[in-house]
Structures are given as C-alpha cells and as structure tokens.
Structure 1
C-alpha cells in the first residue's frame, strides 16, 4: 500500500474506528433483517444449457402436446395385487389421494378401460361400454393377463410380473403459472432484438414469475407432506413410494436447507475448535469468527434484498465464503502477532497500521486472482453455475473489504499486549515441511512431475455421463422410488421422437391406391383443437419426459413419465398421412426399433393405437381406421391419439422412457445411434426426424461441461499468470508460483477421471475453487519470500523464515478448510459429498505444493538473483 493510501486509510478508518464499526454494524443489521425472505430455487432450468437451440424446439413441442403435472405412487402389496383385499386397499388409497389439494383425477388399474377382459367389439368401444375393474364386467384373471401384456398398460400401470402398480395423481393445471411463464419467455425472446426497449417490463415479468414460483413450491410442500401422511396410513399393507416433480423438487430443497443448517453449523464449529487449538487465545477466536459471521450475514442479506435465489449449487457459497473470509483474517492475525512480537514497544495504532500496510498488497492480489477463478464459471452456460460464479465474485470482494474494516477497527478498541510471532521457529509444524524441501527436494520435484503426468492422463479419462439417481443415498425415497419406476414401470427419463411430414413425399405404402383410399375417407371437416400455449412442468420449463404416456404428464424435470394418456385435452385427427395404415406401419417400424433397444423401457405411439385396433377388429384398412376414429369416444381419443398425433401440422410423436438408472447408459451415443438408424436404416429424411425431451436437453448440458471446464481453466491460468507477472515483476517467479496451483487443479480433475467421478453441475466448480483458494497460498508465500530475501541474501535461510511465519498462516487456513469441508461427507446429497471431499483434497494438494514444490523450485531456479551470503 502506498504511503498516500496508507495515510488516507488511517484517517478514514483507523482513527474513527468506533464510528466505522457502528455504521458498518447498522448496515449489516439492516441487510440481515432481509434474510428471513431468502428463497431457494429448484427450477428445471437448472438442468438445461442456456442458449441451447434444442430448448426452443422442446418448448414448441411441449406447447403442442399440452400436459398436466402429477405425482406417482407405486403400490406393491405382499400378496396378490388382484386379490379382493388388495384391490379394496388400493381403492381406499386412491380415494384418499383424490382428496389432496388441487388434484383433478387419480388414475389406477381400477378405472382404466379394459379391451381384453373379456374382449370387446368395436360397437362396445364406440358406445363406451368398456369394462373396468371398479365398474364391473371385468374378469379379474383376464384383467391380470391384459395388464401384463397390453401395449398400453404393460410396464406403465403394472410391472411385467404383475406385483407392482402405479397410481397417477393428476394435478389441476395452474393457468396463472403458465400465463406468467409465457409472458416472461415472450419478453425474453423479444429482448434479443436490438431495438428492444421494454427492459422494465421484462424485469417485472421475471420478478412476477419468480415470486409465483415460490408460491407454487410452497403449495407443493403442503401437497407432498399430505401425500406422505396418507401413504403412511397404508404402509402396513404394501410397499409404497412417492415420485414425481413436486416430490423431487421439495426433497432437493429440503436437502439443501438441511446441508445449509447442519453443515454450516458444523463447519463453524470446526473453525472455532481449530482457532482455539491454533491461537489458544479467546481474542483470536472471537475476532476472526465475528468477521466471518458478519461477512456471511451481509452477503445473505444482500442476496435476499436483491431477491437473488440460492440453488442446489450456489447454496454452497456460504461455506466457501466462511473459508475465504477466515483465510484473509488468519493472514492478518498472524502478521499482526509477528509485528507485535518483534516490535513490542509500538502502540496499538502503529501495530495495526503496519499490519494493514504490509498485508494490503498480497491480500488484494489474492482476492483478484480468486475473483478470476470464480468469474470463469460465468461462461459455463448453466444458470445455477453462473449464479454461483457471480455470488462468489461479489462475496470475495465483501470478504476482503470487511476483513480490512472489522478486524483492524476491533483491534483499535483493544489494548496492545505481548504476542508470540514468527520466532517460534523449530517448534512450528511447518518447520518440518522446510526440512523435507531441503533434504528431499529432488524427490518432491520427481513426485510432482509424476503426479502431473498421471493427472493429465486422468483428465483424458474424465466423463460427463452420470446417473441422476446417484445424487441421493440408497435409503432416500427419491432413490428407491426412481429405482422402482425404472425397473418395474418402464423407465424414468423420457425422450420424444418427432416425425414430420416429409418435404418430398415418400411412398409409404407398396400400393398407391391405399393412399388414395386413405385421403378419400379422411375427415377434413374435423379441425384439430390447437394446443394451448403452455408447458407441462408445474414449476418451470417443463420436461416432456418421464413419458407422456397418460396425457396428464409426469413432466418431471428429468422426464414426463407416465404422460399424456389420461385426462389430457382432446384434438380430433384431421387429415394426416400418419393416420393411415401405411403411416401407422411406418410409425410402427420406429416404435419396434426403439422398443428393441436395451436402454429403453416403455414406448408409446400411434402404433399402440394401431395394435389395439387390430386386436379389436382384426386386420384394418384406412376406411375402417377413419370410421373407427370418428366413432371413438373422447376418452379413448385422449388416451390413444391426442398425445401422439398433431394433425394440424401432420406430425407424429413417439414417446419413450429411458432407463436412467442403467450404468451402461451413454446418453450422447444413444441419441446419435437412434437418429442415425432412423435416417440410414429406416429411410427417413434428415429434416423429418427430431429428437427432443429432457434427455436431449440434459445431454446437451452435460456435453458442454468438459469443453467449458478445460477452456475456462486455461483462460484462468493465463489471466493469473499475467497477474503474477504484474505482482512479482518476473516471468520466472510467476511461472514458479503457478506450478503448485496447476498441479492441484490437475490432481483434482485427474483424480476424478481416475476414480470415475463424472463432471456435473457441482463438480465443475471444484477446479475453479481449487485455483481460487489455492492460488492465495502462492501469492502470500512468494510475496513474503521477496520481502525476506534481501535481509539475508540466502535462499535456504529465507525459506525457513517464510515457513515459520507466512507458512503457518497457510497451514492454519488449509487445515480449517480440509476439516471443515470434510464434514460434508455426512450429507444425504451426493453432490455435496463430492463437493466437500474434493475441495478438501484439492486444498491438501495446494498446501503441499505451496509448502514444498514452490520453495524447492525457488531454491533451484533462484529467480531473485544470486545469493549474497
């Protein structure tokens, strides 16, 4: 710090220290009053890549095939599912679930139409005289067989072995939610235009949507809690699991809240305990702790005031902010104690002023380099990661400012006393690092080179494929429910194959007369009802996944499961080339291919309708199809036609669910294989085939992670190297300081590749955190080395002195980080476990690199010139 700035700081901050503290505490108290309004967000936007062109098409399809959100309850009794007692229990459960708030309908095996129990005629179908288990007229033994073999119900309402069934709890469509969502998206789209001047309107629309999303989530919490209370009353009779978007959203938020509360307190406890062990003084426990808490309170209050919401990812910023603030405070405390020990005759003002003067420059540069590391996350393209990057960038600035305000001002209120400083020498644990560096420095360099090479190979093995189910412990309801649905009820994550009318008309039938026959009897006067402009998800960009199989979609963030088959809107089939025998046979080719893949579970399409018509009528032709469609009751159309045909654009939709729990699933390769087969083997035109759904969007996001991680880290290291050159004014010294950080980042990424931990939205932040925090060690050590070297002119002596002084601050900070983050291993949320353990491991690598590799390179290269002694 220059003498002019030092004088200004002393005048404005140190001398009026009591008033500075009063003003600061008042500001923090005001911001802290907003913390109760802090909100957490678990929207489905967290799973997609911003700017993804596939997202626009996905939204278009979601609007066209409108859906409702819903819960799914799996019911697995100990005895025969179709026994009277079990059916009676199932009926009671269904009726209780129907009383939940905002439920429009509950679908179960009791009330779906049965076409083969006994077999019905077309007259029965068109007259609506179709038996159900509940309505009577159904043969139970035949119903059991039909549910096991029906192209609609098999692996959808019942498991293949008939032991498990599902109840779909459809929720009423929230039209206000969709109105707000559509308005926001329309304004966002308009904002891309250069002449857009409605920024205030866009901001108001975004706030209105965000506020209403909070209301939706609060209702979901009540819904899920009441649903679980109902299930608890039936757990003695059957094995029950709850699934669906509302449940997953609520549970993920609960996990985050639990981690914030429990592990935030745990990390704080570790900080207190280690400060006591390190300094053995109440003063040096309370002052750093006060500064850390004020930093967190100010930032949380600021985020709440700005209505900036925490997500599953950005919620970790609280723990990181504690650590970063503590690191700055420890460096200031250690330096203050050294100055007090070496200059006992100085008064308190002189001690504090000198501490601030000598520490300002390295602390500012460590903050700047940390900012660069976290700012790299802003270009990830994933909204929660972007928010995390910005939050940490602002948080680092806040931590730096408060550290140079609170701690010095508090010290000015205290009387000076005798302190122990850097003269502890051989008694310091860091002294042994210096001994290893001196006596085994060659081994240190060799091991570092080997680790760097191994890390490079490990980075080449990094993968982005992961299973969402692995985010949760095996004993959680999310894990068990998803596993049951995946194994017994046809898969969890959905994919839509969209077939457009070809631009160049192909011959779909061997006999062209068939096409003419179809056209002659199509119903041109029956218009298709346009799909309403809305989405399927109940709380953000929907997901036409988990299978549009029941018309009232599951619209899970990870897939509209059980989808558009019951209770959806109806649209009659106007003239369409797909609604012919030739067209349906063409769809059936795709259907059968998809059904044959080991990665897929339940597949539904127009081919399902075609197969059922053949079961009822025998061989059918275009005339019979047209007549049957015209006579079918609306309830059948809603189940068999509306979810899979958009006649207004002559488009067919094939809905399938993929077994996300499969360890063999490679999403990217799977999607490439499906598209290539449809074009190259089945002869569809490239522009005719579209793949959409959350499987596609999630895959796009995952595929971007590797490139984003490598490119951003490369940019970060270049930027930090440039900053090192400005700070140290030496290219050699800058390269030396960069080495341990390059090794630490390489080790954490390489280690992930070697042990098979995939890159995801959480782990992509680890390398940035490693560089952001680890680079602080190098800056402090090299800055201190440069300051100490002229006193002796001997590199080895300077190294021992640095290890006994600044090395202790580095060691204390790292130990607190390592132990503090390790406590996250006790979380129920696997990404938090990875986050904690990987951060702890990275900090250990950064510490060892800065305490052994960095000084050894200085001893070898001698970047400060020849020794004078």
Structure 2
C-alpha cells in the first residue's frame, strides 16, 4: 500500500485500465431472463424435462388472441390461415395451432378421417355459421384455439427450443409483424403466454438498467458534492464507480453467465456500496484536513483512521453476498459471486489507488463543514446523548419493539407468481387475463406415463388408467383444459361408429386401438404420445400461477397416483409448472442456508477483528435485528419471500455490519487509550457518526430508486433494503452504544 502511494501515475493508469478494459467485453453481454436460466441444470425436474423434449414439443408458447363478432367470416379465416402458414414457415417455429391447422376427426361412410378443423383452402364450402358450429362442437378446439362463445380465436405459436430471451423477443416481434402484414391488428386483443412474459421481463430489465444505472450514479455524485463541495471528489467518485461496476459485469460475461433481472440489481448495488466506502474515506480526509494535514500526510492520516475498518467492512459485505452461493437458483448464486467480487474491487480501488491519486493532486484546504454536515453532526450527537444517558430505556424500548415484531415473521409466505411481478395495469397482466378469460390458463403441466415396452400404450387397460387420472384432474379447479392419448383414441372410436355418443370411449379390443392409431394421419396425435407408443402425457393448462397452488395440486396428484396406481405404468410430472413449483423448494432451502452461512461468516470475521467473544456476540445484535425487522415488515404487509426478496437478508446483513465496524473500531481505539466509556462513545460518534449517517442516506436514496421499478420484485428489494438500512442505522446509533454502556455498568457492578 505504501509503495503504491508513491507512484500516483501508476495508480491513475490502473484506474484508467479498470474503466476502459471491460468496454469490449460489456458489448458481449447475454441479456437472458428465460426461465431455463434460473433452474439448476442438475435438478431432477430439469433433467427429466430435458429428456422429455427429445420426444415431445416445447410447452412454452406464444398466444395471439383475436376477438370480434365476425371471426368465422371467410375473409377473417383466410387471413388467420395465412398468418399460421406464414409463421410456420419460419425456421424458429415448430408448429402453429389454430382453427385452420388443428386436426378434426369425423365419420365417413367407410370409417373416419382426419382433416383440418377449418380448411383454409375451401372456406366457401360452409357458411360462417356452419364453420362456427363445427369449431365449437369439436372436442379439442374450445378452450385451446377458440373461445367457448365463439367470439375469440387464437393462434398459438410453438417454437423449437429457444436459447435466450433475445430469441423470444425476436419471435414476438415476428408474430406482431406478421399480424400487421395480414391486416389482423384491429382484431388482436392480446399476445400472452410464457414467451410473452419472458419478453415483458426482458423489457423491464432494459428499462431498469437505462434508469437505475445513471440514476444511482447521479444521486451518489450529487450527495457527495453536497457533503464535500470538491470537484476532485466527484470526478474520482465517478471514476471509481465505473472501475468497480465495469469489471464486475465483465466477470459475469467471462464466466458465461446470463444477465438476468437479478443481475440487473448489481450495478446500482455496487454503486451504493462503493459510495459507502468513498464516504468514509473522504470524511476521514476531511477530518485530517481540519487538523492541518496537507498532501500525502493528509491521505496517510485518513487511511490510518479508516483503512482497517474499511477492509473488514469489505470482507463482511463480500461474505454476506458470497453466502448467496449456497442458493440453487443460478441467478441468485451468480449475484452473490459477482457482488462479492465487486465489493472487494471497490475496497482495493478506494484504499489502494485513490490515496495515491489524492496525495498527488488534492491540493488546498478542505472547506469547513457546511449546513448539511453540521445537521448530521447534530443528529448523531443527539443519538449519542440519548443512548448514553438513557441506555436502559433505549434497550427496554428495543426489547418491546422486537417482541412485537418477531412474531410477525411467521406470517411471511414463500410464494413466487411470475404474473404478479407486474402490476394490474401492465400489458402482460391484462393480456394474460384476456387469454385466460376467453380460452384457458397459460401455465402448462404435463403428467407423463411410461409403459413397460414398445406399443404398450395401445393396451386399453393402460389407456383407461390414464383416462381415470385425467378425469380426476378435470375435477380440479386449477385445471382449465386437458388433452391426452385416451381422448384421441375415444374420438376415433366415436367417429368410426358413425359418431354415436355411446362409442365416445376407449374400445376394449387392443387390436382395434392399434388399428386406429395406425391409420391416424393427422398431426396432433404425437403431441400426446411418442412414435413408439411407449411414453404418453396428459397436457394440462392451469389457471394457477403461484408456486404454492401449483405445488398443492402436484402434491395432491402424487397422493392420488400413489393411492390409485395407473396399471403398471410409471409416472412423473414435467412442464413449466413442475419446474416453477420445484424452484420454490430450492428458494426456501437457499434462503435458510444463506442465512446460516452469512451469520457464521460475519461472526467469524467479527471475532477475528475484535478478538473478544462477548464483544463479537454483542456486535451481531444490531446487525441481525434489522433483518428480523425486514422479515417482520414483510409478514405484516403480506410481502412474499420470492426470488428477489430472498436476497435481502444477505445483502442487508452485509451492509449493516459496516456501520457497526466503524463505530466499534473508533470506540475500542479510544478505550485502549484510557478514555471513559461515555467519552469514547461521544468521540466515536463525532468521528464516524457523520460518515455512517451520510452513507446510510446515500444508500437509502439509491435503493429507493430501485423501488421505482415496474418490476415488482426489484421494487420490493429496493424499498425493503432501504427500510433495513434505516433500521440498521438506528440500531447502531442507539442500541449499540446503549448495550456498551449497560455492559460496562454490569461489569463494574459484578465482583
């Protein structure tokens, strides 16, 4: 450290490299918030889903909903048919489902045939009313591609496997372009589905980045100018923030990690943490200037005051973020790794590079504290007076507050609802409601059955066993629509027997079933069964979006299947609903493990710093209590523990401990010189109170910017973290000194 301070040009060069080198790498960022980027690659549900897609199409689709009173006129059906054929011609699209592409099984003189539900090339063969009646009487179209009232039709685009969110964005743009090209914009009511949701999240991420990154930077620089009124402080602060956030995001790219909505919190978070370190360094420089130090001596004096606590502050914050590595949710794990790296880079820049630059180019006297700083001094002095003179009352009030707050934690609900991530007025929310009100739910669940060998699913008993499971599912309120192999076999049997309703069932003769399946020449059959007739699936559209309700349905289904085994078939569940529901369990496990890890790591670091078990345990109280207050507020207000709020505890503990370190470091220094407890606390507040209060103001302002996000988890993360930091400041300014005073009194009173 001392050697580098003598080489300011080298320090300036390193700072410039940290700013400039990440530039070309940042251009390669992979913006990807697709669901697949969140799931652990080795999770059983992910492995099974990957295996299933080798035989069956994707379950993530893009739904275009069209409404009107003349949807069955030849002109409109012709345009819908042209749209479907145009979309299917694109290499990214595997199939398009619509009334003009869906199979229709009907009786003929010598058996049955499979043709298009609506033949786009023979629209004049029927009147609009006849086409309408044919569609609504079809067994499979209503609820899938047609509304039950006949005033809504859908085009469902089913793509090949898409690698990232940008490809989904391209697919949605393609659909919108083709809708415009075929003059269907007036009838378009909504574009929804999981692909549309992913695109909405991608747009929210880009919007947040465009607002939050410059917003947090601007707020930081304005507050630093307000506090210190030195152009060099503002310039170096801007350079330092760039030198921290750039390499951090570059590391994320080099590790081939996608940039998700979780990752989008990193730039404003690292900006806030960097400014916190800068605040302490510049405040110490101001104190040194007030004592008459100049140039390099001023920097040396500032570092002597803040270097050790700032390093420990960086280590504890990095430990809090690194604890997220235990999460199985990959973006949360990445968030912890990159955040910890960024914090350590910030400490290195602030404590190694800036002192050399400041020692060389910071000339002149620092101004006497202005009104803002004097106001902060009055606030901290008042807090110190209250904590020292009324220590017992402060601790009693704190105990009452915690006694009231902690029971609220049990009301915190673990829940993730992708469609609740946006407010009610958001376009994706309204589009989803429109599709679900006219057709069926957009959450896909698949119940998969495996037979013992090839062609085993042509056996009537096995098909009847699958059908019983489907009938049970159809009674559930969460299920809007279902389709299975038994449905198709029963439809063929019905058509073969002149559409007699008594024959709309699975035939008892396995040879007849085999014959039906052999002569079926449509496209829909192999959505429900593989070509070996060894694996089949029930396709379900659910109106449930929350992980808890989906998990409840899946648990009930498991119980039913275990109590009523489907013949000799093996079974499992797959699809987006299964992946999404399993994610909730991983979220809970990750949250608990992260809390244990961060508490253990920070306790160990505090023990290394204070070399005292009692002081270490005492110092953890004002850091763990704000986390309890955050969870209590979540329980009181009914805020869910989801992907974003699951990170708050680790982030809040990591940041809250910073103030504790600075206060205790100054307090122990003065106590070591023989100062009385009250005097040591008062002088510590004079030295560090202003910095930690100003730092909290900056951090709170920056996190409140996150609260302005349209994406609800990001907004909740922002304002809950801001609340936690305010609580941490109050605990550090009031509760920590009160505990030190009471502990000293008790030690003097004991024999």
- Superposition TM-score, scaled by structure 2 size: 0.90
Q: Which aligned pairs between 1:282-321 and structure 2 lie closer than 5 A?
A: 282-304=231-253, 307-321=256-270
Residues 308 and 167 from structure 1, CA distance in 2 versus in 1: closer, same or farther, beyond 3 angstroms? closer
In 2, are the aligned partners of 1:599 and 1:665 still within 8 Å (CA)? no
Distance 1:27 1:227 in 2: 42
Question: What residue in structure 1 maps to residue 353 of structure 2?
Answer: 406
Residues 406 and 122 from structure 1, CA distance in 2 versus in 1: closer, same or farther, beyond 3 angstroms? farther
In 1, are the aligned partners of 2:59 and 2:575 still within 8 Å (CA)? no
Distance 1:863 1:314 in 2: 48
Mapped pair 1:625 → 2:625: no
Distance 1:700 1:603 in 2: 22
Mapped pair 1:801 → 2:749: no
In 2, are the aligned partners of 1:338 and 1:419 still within 8 Å (CA)? no
Distance 2:586 2:130 in 1: 50
Secondary structure, aligned partner of 2:416: coil
Question: What residue in structure 2 maps to residue 692 of structure 1?
Answer: 574
In 1, are the aligned partners of 2:436 and 2:543 still within 8 Å (CA)? yes
Distance 1:272 1:50 in 2: 41
Question: What residue in structure 2 maps to residue 458 of structure 1?
Answer: 408
Residues 380 and 685 from structure 1, CA distance in 2 versus in 1: closer, same or farther, beyond 3 angstroms? farther
Mapped pair 1:484 → 2:366: no
Distance 1:654 1:107 in 2: 18
Structure 1: segments with no counterpart, 5+ residues: 1-8, 178-212, 504-573
Distance 2:746 2:689 in 1: 19
Distance 2:539 2:348 in 1: 55
Q: CA deviation at 1:95?
A: 6.2
Question: What residue in structure 1 maps to residue 649 of structure 2?
Answer: 767
In 1, are the aligned partners of 2:97 and 2:145 still within 8 Å (CA)? no
Distance 1:16 1:98 in 2: 64
Residues 278 and 849 from structure 1, CA distance in 2 versus in 1: closer, same or farther, beyond 3 angstroms? same
Q: Aligned match of 2:102 in 95, 106, 112? A: 112
Question: What residue in structure 2 maps to residue 531 of structure 1?
Answer: none
Distance 2:215 2:376 in 1: 33
Question: What residue in structure 2 maps to residue 596 of structure 1?
Answer: 475
Distance 1:157 1:425 in 2: 65
Distance 1:603 1:668 in 2: 18
Distance 1:22 1:458 in 2: 52
In 2, are the aligned partners of 1:464 and 1:703 still within 8 Å (CA)? no
Q: CA deviation at 1:236?
A: 5.9
Distance 2:51 2:76 in 1: 42
In 2, are the aligned partners of 1:109 and 1:133 still within 8 Å (CA)? no
Q: Aligned match of 2:5 in 5, 14, 19? A: 14
In 2, are the aligned partners of 1:465 and 1:666 still within 8 Å (CA)? no
In 1, are the aligned partners of 2:263 and 2:331 still within 8 Å (CA)? yes
Q: Aligned match of 1:675 in 540, 558, 561? A: 558
User: Deviations for 1:25-58, whole angstroms, at most 9, x for unmatched residues?
Assistant: 2353223343222332224333424532232222
Distance 1:379 1:49 in 2: 12
Q: CA deviation at 1:702?
A: 0.7
Mapped pair 1:432 → 2:316: no
Mapped pair 1:161 → 2:43: no
In 1, are the aligned partners of 2:320 and 2:598 still within 8 Å (CA)? yes
Residues 140 and 675 from structure 1, CA distance in 2 versus in 1: closer, same or farther, beyond 3 angstroms? farther
Mapped pair 1:417 → 2:396: no
In 1, are the aligned partners of 2:376 and 2:693 still within 8 Å (CA)? no
In 2, are the aligned partners of 1:296 and 1:321 still within 8 Å (CA)? yes
Question: What residue in structure 1 maps to residue 399 of structure 2?
Answer: 449
Secondary structure, aligned partner of 1:769: helix
Q: Which aligned pairs between 1:399-798 and structure 2 lie closer than 5 A?
A: 399-412=346-359, 413-420=361-368, 428-438=378-388, 440-501=390-451, 575-576=455-456, 578-616=457-495, 617=497, 618=500, 619=503, 620-622=507-509, 623-633=511-521, 635=522, 638-639=523-524, 641-646=525-530, 648=532, 650-661=534-545, 666-680=549-563, 682-684=564-566, 688-790=570-672, 793-798=675-680
Secondary structure, aligned partner of 1:499: strand
Q: CA deviation at 1:779?
A: 0.7
Residues 32 and 50 from structure 1, CA distance in 2 versus in 1: closer, same or farther, beyond 3 angstroms? same
Distance 2:114 2:170 in 1: 41
Distance 2:740 2:116 in 1: 89
Distance 1:144 1:726 in 2: 77
Residues 33 and 92 from structure 1, CA distance in 2 versus in 1: closer, same or farther, beyond 3 angstroms? closer
Question: What residue in structure 1 maps to residue 204 of structure 2?
Answer: 255
Q: Aligned match of 2:49 in 58, 83, 94? A: 58
Q: CA deviation at 1:108?
A: 2.0
Secondary structure, aligned partner of 1:841: helix
Residues 789 and 724 from structure 1, CA distance in 2 versus in 1: closer, same or farther, beyond 3 angstroms? same
Distance 1:104 1:415 in 2: 68
Q: CA deviation at 1:409?
A: 2.0
Q: Calculate the aligned-residue CA RMSD, in Å.
A: 3.1
Distance 2:385 2:674 in 1: 19
Residues 83 and 689 from structure 1, CA distance in 2 versus in 1: closer, same or farther, beyond 3 angstroms? same
Question: What residue in structure 1 maps to residue 191 of structure 2?
Answer: 242
Q: CA deviation at 1:273?
A: 2.2
Q: CA deviation at 1:406?
A: 3.2
Mapped pair 1:46 → 2:34: no
Secondary structure, aligned partner of 2:259: coil
Mapped pair 1:152 → 2:99: no
Distance 1:823 1:761 in 2: 19
User: Deviations for 1:746-800, whole angstroms, at most 9, x for unmatched residues?
Assistant: 1212322332222222211111100111111111111111123355633223322
Q: CA deviation at 1:239?
A: 3.9
Q: Which aligned pairs between 1:221-236 and structure 2 lie closer than 5 A?
A: 221-231=169-179, 234=183
Distance 2:479 2:352 in 1: 60
Residues 690 and 124 from structure 1, CA distance in 2 versus in 1: closer, same or farther, beyond 3 angstroms? same
Between stretches 231-240 and 148-157, larger displacement belongs to: 231-240
Secondary structure, aligned partner of 1:165: strand
Residues 226 and 50 from structure 1, CA distance in 2 versus in 1: closer, same or farther, beyond 3 angstroms? closer
Between stretches 242-251 and 797-806, larger displacement belongs to: 242-251
Q: CA deviation at 1:158?
A: 1.2
Residues 455 and 669 from structure 1, CA distance in 2 versus in 1: closer, same or farther, beyond 3 angstroms? farther
Distance 1:144 1:697 in 2: 37
Secondary structure, aligned partner of 1:759: coil
Residues 860 and 762 from structure 1, CA distance in 2 versus in 1: closer, same or farther, beyond 3 angstroms? same
Q: CA deviation at 1:609?
A: 1.1
Question: What residue in structure 2 maps to residue 537 of structure 1?
Answer: none
Secondary structure, aligned partner of 1:805: helix
User: Deviations for 1:796-841, whole angstroms, at most 9, x for unmatched residues?
Assistant: 2332222222011111111111111112222221221112111111
User: Deviations for 1:679-701, whole angstroms, at most 9, x for unmatched residues?
Assistant: 21x34479833222222222222
